[in-house]
Amino acid sequence: MKAPRITAPAAGGALCVLLTATACTSGTTADPAPGPRKLTLTTPAATGALDDVTWNLPMGEPRTLDSAKVADYSPSTVKANLCDSLLRLEPDYSIAPGLASSWSRPDDKTLVLNLRKGVRFWNGHPMTAGDVVSSLRRQGDPATQSVNASLLARVKTITATGAHQVTVRFESPDEMFFKGLATSFGTVNEAAYVKKAGRAYGSAKGGLMCTGPFELASWKPGESITATRNAEYWDTSLRPKIKKLRFTFITDGSTLTSALLSGEVDGSYEISSAGARALGSADVGTLYHGPSAQTNFIAAIGEDSPLADRKISEALSLVLDRDDLIKNVYAGAAQKLKTFVPPLVWENGEAADIYAEGYDALPAVPGVDVEKAEKLVDQARTERRTLTVAMAAGDQQSQQTLTFLQAGAKRIGIKIVIKQLQPTQMSGLFFDASLRKGLDATMVLGYVEIPDPISYAQLLTDPESLFNWTKYRDPEVTSLLDRARAATEPTKSARLFTRAQQRYSADLPVVPLASPHERLFLNKRLSGAPSSFAYLNMPWAAHLGGTGKGTS
């Protein structure tokens, strides 16, 4: 519920919200001391075909599948299998060719994309350079209300310069545009279909027209979405092994766990900690843990929030035992973070060693030090010692975390008031300032989609960002990140970013908690799906297939 569970995807600079009885008492204890998890990027390759698979979307039914508006777990999970992007994200968060087979940069302000030949939409029409131009341009049209609009901020022109070539010219260099092509921003939709469907494009009524390995067959609102195999998929190595893929919308963790245990649902990403405890030892399937680009932190709201005072945020950080938190809240499936960008975002990309060096140079994740925390509270500028922190009602992870924080804060004279918000209020909080009134902080579960940490850092530090609620302003940080974004040389970009990271990490009123691992459950008759968080932007179901075990 999940969280509240808040998610903050960074595609195009959008931060959005999400939201995560037995007959006798157990007399048992929880998994007491889960050791380090073995993380895998993917599951064993599938060996056979299957007629149908039922997959669950634990965050609920998507509002839209229009790639211009997709910025949440559920729509991304579905859309990634229906619509291809110009670039493709790999399980290790590296970038590979997608509908663009190659690219070149004649100069810093020009990007030439060479399109793959022979690609057809589901209706048999060939994909053209015009479709690519139209798909990118419509995201800059205010009428589209695209979550990716900011990625077009530095674009001067996008033109078809050949039957299979598109050229993008920039006002100023922007590497984020290129990396963003690996997310929903780079999705290619058929221009004629989009025009005909109008505002209904991507909805149950308007449908979709893409080139992906699965075709949207039906969408019964409130019930399910069904996708069928695209037998003519251009990537012959990824032609689906599943004929029919049905998505269900079970949001209750217990119900989902029961459905997975009974075989009613074959698989799901984003398994909760409680669900993992039950599914971890189940013989009906396997629970996989993968690396993740998700990040959990507490963000201050408003300049007058006590948490906006660096002394208070540091003091709270010092009363929170993250080892206990990972053990008890995440059932061991998380890693401590020094900052709010998880290493998966950069650790397998270019200049990874520079990013790693920058991360290592950050102060260590603090252990519990109540005495120091008390001193910090005494030194704080603010007189307020009560903090109202929002969380989504029903989000067990957030509630557990805040309960531990409450107890710790009480020891240093700070009172934490927990305010549970309903999912719509929680998601609205990120975009509607009136919903943030009376709140001093909120739990955030965000994720980084673009395989580059700059976009996420800018969300929280740029004075113009919608999500910079404390009006954090450091001209040096802004300048460094802007220059890093413009640098086409990866090592230069990484160096500029790590310098900015060193500065804002020392000032930013954010309390990083942990980066939860990706949790995937597959029925024993299934295998092949990636277990990395990259699934959100890759055609994961095209990898899925049978194992020959269980009922086919």
Partner 1 sequence: MSAYQSVPAAGGRLPLGRVRALARGQGVPIAAGTVVALVVLAAVFAPLLAPYDPNAVDPLAVSQGSSAAHWLGTDDTGRDILSRLLYGARPSLLAPALITLTAGLAGTALAVSAAWLGGWYDRVVSAFLDLVFGFPGLVLAVVGAAVFGAGLDIAVITLSLAYLPYIARVVRSAALRERALPYVSALGLLGLSGRRICLRHLLPNLLPLVLVQATTSFGYTMLDVAAFSFIGLGTQPPTAEWGLMVANGAPGIIAGQPEQSLYAGLVIVVFVIACNLLGSGLSRRLLGEDR
Q: Interacting stretch for partner 1, rule CB under 8 A, among 88-96, 161-169, 172-180, 266-274?
A: 266-274
CB of 200 or CB of 407, closer to partner 1: 407
* Residue 393 found at the interface with partner 1 (CB under 8 A): yes
Q: 491 to 550, contacts with partner 1 by CB under 8 A?
A: none
**Residue of 153, 192, 238, 278 interacting with partner 1 (CB under 8 A):** 278
Q: Interacting stretch for partner 1, rule CB under 8 A, among 65-73, 336-344, 417-425, 512-520?
A: 417-425
Q: Interacting stretch for partner 1, rule CB under 8 A, among 64-72, 86-94, 211-219, 418-426?
A: 418-426
Contacts of 266 (CB under 8 A, 6+ apart): 53, 54, 55, 260, 522, 523, 525, 526
* Residue 25 found at the interface with partner 1 (CB under 8 A): yes
* Residue 468 found at the interface with partner 1 (CB under 8 A): no
Question: Residue 520 CB, nearest distance to partner 1 (Å)?
Answer: 18
The Cα–Cα gap between 465 and 13 comes to 8
* Residue 419 found at the interface with partner 1 (CB under 8 A): yes
Phi then psi dihedrals of residue 74, to 5 deg: -60, -55
Amino acid occupying residue 18 = L
Phi then psi dihedrals of residue 11, to 5 deg: -60, 120
CB of 29 or CB of 237, closer to partner 1: 29
Contacts of 418 (CB under 8 A, 6+ apart): 389, 391, 399, 402, 403, 406
State the binding string over 307-346 for partner 1 (x if CB under 8 A, else -). --------------x--x--xx------------------
CB of 275 or CB of 453, closer to partner 1: 275
**Residue of 105, 277, 492, 549 interacting with partner 1 (CB under 8 A):** 277
The Cα–Cα gap between 2 and 294 comes to 14
Count of residues of this chain found to bind partner 1 when the rule CB under 8 A is applied: 38
* Residue 403 found at the interface with partner 1 (CB under 8 A): yes
Question: Residue 222 CB, nearest distance to partner 1 (Å)?
Answer: 20
* Residue 29 found at the interface with partner 1 (CB under 8 A): yes
**Residue of 402, 409, 457, 480 interacting with partner 1 (CB under 8 A):** 402
* Residue 399 found at the interface with partner 1 (CB under 8 A): yes
CB of 277 or CB of 483, closer to partner 1: 277
**Residue of 404, 469, 497, 535 interacting with partner 1 (CB under 8 A):** 404
The Cα–Cα gap between 308 and 52 comes to 51
Tokens of 371: 């005495």
Amino acid occupying residue 271 = I
DSSP string, 171-225: SS--HHHHHHTTSGGGB---HHHHHHHGGGTTSTTT-----SSEEEEEEETTTEE
Question: Residue 121 CB, nearest distance to partner 1 (Å)?
Answer: 42
Residues 120 and 234 sit within 8 Å (Cβ to Cβ): yes
Measure Cα distances from 320 to 7, 371, 404, 443, 548 in Å: 22, 13, 7, 14, 47
* Residue 386 found at the interface with partner 1 (CB under 8 A): no
* Residue 435 found at the interface with partner 1 (CB under 8 A): no
**Residue of 62, 98, 275, 528 interacting with partner 1 (CB under 8 A):** 275
Question: Residue 287 CB, nearest distance to partner 1 (Å)?
Answer: 12
CB of 160 or CB of 417, closer to partner 1: 417
Residues 40 and 290 sit within 8 Å (Cβ to Cβ): yes
SS3 category, 285: strand
The Cα–Cα gap between 227 and 208 comes to 11
The Cα–Cα gap between 495 and 454 comes to 11
Question: Residue 329 CB, nearest distance to partner 1 (Å)?
Answer: 8
CB of 27 or CB of 475, closer to partner 1: 27
The Cα–Cα gap between 128 and 94 comes to 26
The H or E element that residue 323 is part of is helix 322-328
* Residue 434 found at the interface with partner 1 (CB under 8 A): no
The Cα–Cα gap between 116 and 132 comes to 11
* Residue 35 found at the interface with partner 1 (CB under 8 A): no
The Cα–Cα gap between 393 and 207 comes to 32
Q: Which residues make up the interface to partner 1 (CB under 8 A)?
A: 21-22, 25-30, 253-254, 257-258, 272-275, 277-278, 321, 324, 327-328, 393-394, 396, 399-400, 402-404, 406-407, 417-422
